[in-house]
Chain A
Amino acid sequence: MKKILIIFAFSLCFSGEVFSQNNLMNLFDNGPQQTIYTQASFKTTRIVLGQSVESPAKGDLIFVIQHHFGYINQGPYQFFGMDLATIRLGFEYGLTNWLQVGVGHSSFGKTYDGSLKAKILRQSTGKRVMPITLSYFGSVGINTLHPRVLAVNYYLSNRLTFLNQVLIARKFSPSLTLQLTPSLVHRNLVATSTNDNNVFAMGTGGRFKLSNHTTINLEYYYILSQQTAANYKNSLSIGFDIETGGHVFQLYVSNSEGIIGQNFIPGTTGNWLKGDILFGFNLTRTFVIKKPKQFDK
């Protein structure tokens, strides 16, 4: 017993250095536990075609070029779809860390769109635990095709389409994020009486990280309202994201010709099994408009 105590006393003397350092460390009483918000659930503001819960940080402006080609099953005459193009150019700006406003124009139906995304709940751990991130996304589209093309002189109100989405996502691990997206598309005027003005759809999507800079993404919108489902297909897209700092390149294949939700959720006609698959990409670039206060000079 004496021997043990002597050894203990000696070892204490020799471990004094580590002991004292740890003792100094103990002075950093780290205070009350903080809330740690989950970040980077997705690489950018879209999973593939549809919205993700992400929005630009306060003062950041995202410029997005969305481009896709025609169906690959159109054969060599259309160079496997490469001769055809649908494009959308858009801007998204972070007014605050939870509120995004956006504008864009897409060649599909010559549609202008204005949108808003608000983060209502943020996934967090620590002091306040929140299992999910929940955002609202709303968009208004105006089809501006010339009356000659439409063969009818539409009123402005007849050209409007609306999209309302609740985005519910959880980052299960650094690699895996899944999202549910209940959506409602309202079109003031539809092509035939068999089409619904209101189309309900349930979107699902997710991303899996292959490396810190690359992810594989999957997105599927299931149309819940039956009328529209008759001759329209559910939208299925598979994407591959490459993030290089300020840019994100999203390469994808999809059966949807439309680019904004109002167009691709209720209006997808492509059939994957028949080869109605197109190749496309989104290119996003983030610009800093307002710097954080520590960097104001």
Chain B
Amino acid sequence: MKRLLIPVFIILFALPSFGQRFITKTGNISFFSDAPLEKIEAKNDQVNCALDTQSGFFVVQVLMRSFVFEKALMQEHFNEEYVESDRYPTAVFKGKVQNMQQINFSKPGTYPAVIVGQMTIHGHTQQVKATGSFTISKDLINASAKFPIKLANYGISIPSIVAGKIADELEINTDFQLKPLKH
């Protein structure tokens, strides 16, 4: 009985300390909607992102209210009518780097990366695959990716009243400067 308890506790406490973890709280995400009648761009420079270079786990947390638009009205409508940030304040991505064997996190350079995971926006979760790159320099990992998302997949509908002003598919750009987590 006691002999079993010990390994259980070891597993419990050992898991969090596996590997080297990198983190940022000021990551950048921007998105772009290219519709016939209107181009919309929004930027967020308060994004949380963390990477575990041992396991390849990669997580992102976005506060939807922190997106800034060129027009204040767009920002209001984005939060109020489309992502409903009162009900769904954050978007979350939980994924894993698929090509860990091709990336040497201890050797500076740029490595292509494939990340697959679950993206949750507006209360809807979708499997997402993003290709990007890790640029490794001394004490810093830059993770960037560009990928499209379909609004309909996340339960965000575009009423006919604004047809032509919002694209069905948004282009997402991410850029994270990850720093080693200090213990």
Tell me if A212 counts as interface (CB < 8 A to partner B).
yes
> Chain B: residues with CB nearer than 8 A to chain A?
1, 4-5, 7-8, 11-12, 15-16, 18, 21, 23, 25, 38, 41, 43, 45, 48, 50-52, 55, 57, 59, 61, 65, 68-74, 76-77, 79-81, 84, 86, 92, 94, 96, 159, 161-162, 165, 181
Q: Give the residues in chain A near B181, CB-CB below 8 Å.
A: 27
Q: Which residues of B contact A77 (CB under 8 A)?
A: none
Is there an interface contact between A24 and B52, defined as CB atoms closer than 8 Å?
yes
- Categorize the interface residue count of chain A: 35 or more
- Interface SS of A by simple majority: mixed
Q: How far is the CA of A212 from the CA of B157 in the complex (A)?
A: 11
Known: A12-B8, A27-B23. 15 other contacts (CB 8 A): A2-B4, A5-B4, A12-B11, A20-B57, A27-B50, A27-B181, A40-B80, A57-B72, A60-B71, A60-B73, A286-B71, A291-B70, A292-B69, A292-B70, A295-B41
Q: Find out whether the CB atom of A213 lies under 8 angstroms from the CB atom of B70.
A: no
Contact present for B1 and A294 (CB under 8 Å):
no
In the assembled complex, which residues on chain B have CB atoms less than 8 Å from the CB atom of A291? 70
Known A1-B1, A211-B159, A212-B159: A21·B81 in contact at CB below 8 Å: no
The contact sample of 20 A-B pairs, CB cut-off 8 A, is A2-B1, A12-B11, A12-B12, A20-B52, A20-B55, A24-B21, A25-B92, A25-B94, A27-B50, A28-B48, A40-B77, A60-B72, A60-B73, A213-B159, A242-B161, A245-B162, A246-B71, A288-B71, A292-B68, A294-B43
Q: Is the CB of A212 within 8 A of B92?
A: no
A118 CA to B161 CA in the complex, in Å?
A: 32
A12 to B59, alpha carbons, bound, how many Å? Answer: 20
A212 to B162, CA, bound (A): 11
A residues near B165, Cβ cutoff 8 Å: 245
Question: Nearest CB to that of B40 among chain A residues?
Answer: A245
Question: With a CB–CB cut-off of 8 A, which chain A residues contact B11?
Answer: 9, 12-13
Q: Is the CB of B21 within 8 A of A286?
A: no
Q: Which of B52, B55, B68, B73 has the most CB of A within 10 A?
A: B73
Contact across chains for A36 and B50 when beta carbons are under 8 A apart? no
Closest to A94 in B: B72
Contact B70 A244 (CB under 8 A): no
Choose among B7, B41, B77 the residue that contacts A245 (Cβ–Cβ < 8 A).
B77
Does A275 lie at the interface of the complex (its beta carbon under 8 Å from any beta carbon of B)?
no
Determine the residue in chain B with the shortest Cβ distance to A28: B48
User: Which residues of A lie under 8 Å from residue B57 when comparing CB positions?
Assistant: 17, 20-21, 24
Give chain A residues whose Cβ lies under 8 Å from the Cβ of B80.
39-40, 174, 212
Contacts of A28 in B (CB 8 A): 23, 25, 48, 50, 61
* Residue from the set A12, A19, A245 with the largest chain B CB neighbour count within 10 Å: A245
Asked if A58 lies at the interface with its beta carbon under 8 angstroms from chain B, I say yes
Residue of B nearest to A59 (CB): B72
**B44 and chain A: residue at smallest CB distance:** A294
Nearest CB in chain B: distance from A224 CB, A: 35
Neighbouring B residues of A155 by C-beta, 8 Å: none
Bitwise interface map of A from 2 to 23 toward B, beta carbon under 8 Å scored 1, else 0: 1001101100110011111111
Chain B hits for A244, CB < 8 A: 161-162
A246 adjacent to B73 (CB under 8 Å): yes
Nearest residue in B to A56 (C-beta to C-beta)? B72
Beta-carbon contact of B1 and A40 below 8 Å: no
Check B18 against A20 for contact (C-beta < 8 Å). yes
| Chain B proximity of A27: nearest CB distance (Å) | 5
On whether the beta carbons of A25 and B59 are closer than 8 Å, the reply is: yes
- Given A24-B21, A39-B80, is A174 in contact with B86 using a C-beta cutoff of 8 Å? yes
